[in-house]
């Protein structure tokens, strides 16, 4: 078991940093506390395995809107075992209320920004949808024109077949007449066919 005492400086008060630190202990076997200092800094004292503590430090030494840890000093010590769990040490009610109001304002601002981004994505998606619809209409028009061409081609083929059949029927009728004439001429000449 190890212990560290750390001091976080930067934008770490009234931005939900203590709650972030507290939440990062849930997946780790860490005890201790986090509290605001009068200097505007945040103090963190934590005990646990060295591996858990190093992972914990990586997750709390952050710059992630609205939190901005600009400086993070760590002093390693031997564990004392004096903490049963991890807690947030709270200040007076007025200080805590102002901190939560500030944090709530930041959360609302973040939500507003995300809503604006979502609306922008929605507008872009709608524009892409309109362009896709236009391409679809143009494709449908080409399809209609292709279908009309196919109908006209079919009509031409049907007409050509009809003309060809009539022509062939006339030719075969003419050939039959000539064959009958040839047969008659051969029969008059005494030649049996």
Q: Please pick, among 9, 14, 18, 188, the residue that the annotation labels catalytic.
A: 18
Report the distance separating Cα 11 and Cα 8, nearest Å. 9
Out of 11, 28, 36, 161, which one is annotated catalytic?
Answer: 36
18 is catalytic: yes
Phi, psi of 118 (to 5 degrees): -65, -40
Catalytic status, residue 36: yes
Mind telling me the catalytic residues? Answer: 18, 36
């Amino acid at each position: 078991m190890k212990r560290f005492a750390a001091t976080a400086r930067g934008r770490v008060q009234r931005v939900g940093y203590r709650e972030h630190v507290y939440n990062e202990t849930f997946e780790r076997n860490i005890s201790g506390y986090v509290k605001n200092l009068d200097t505007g800094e945040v103090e963190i004292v934590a005990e646990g395995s060295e591996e858990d503590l190093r992972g914990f430090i990586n997750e709390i030494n952050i710059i992630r809107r609205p939190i901005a840890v600009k400086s993070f000093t760590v002093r390693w010590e031997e564990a004392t075992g004096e903490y049963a769990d991890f807690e947030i040490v709270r200040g007076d009610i007025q200080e805590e209320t102002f901190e939560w109001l500030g944090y709530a304002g930041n959360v609302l601002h973040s939500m507003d920004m995300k809503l604006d981004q979502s609306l922008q994505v929605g507008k872009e998606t709608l524009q892409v949808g309109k362009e896709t619809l236009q391409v679809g209409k143009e494709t449908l028009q080409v399809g209609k024109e292709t279908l009309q061409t196919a109908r006209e081609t079919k009509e031409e083929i049907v007409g050509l077949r009809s003309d060809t059949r009539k022509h062939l029927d006339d030719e075969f009728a003419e050939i039959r007449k000539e064959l009958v004439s040839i047969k008659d001429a051969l029969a008059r000449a005494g030649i049996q066919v």
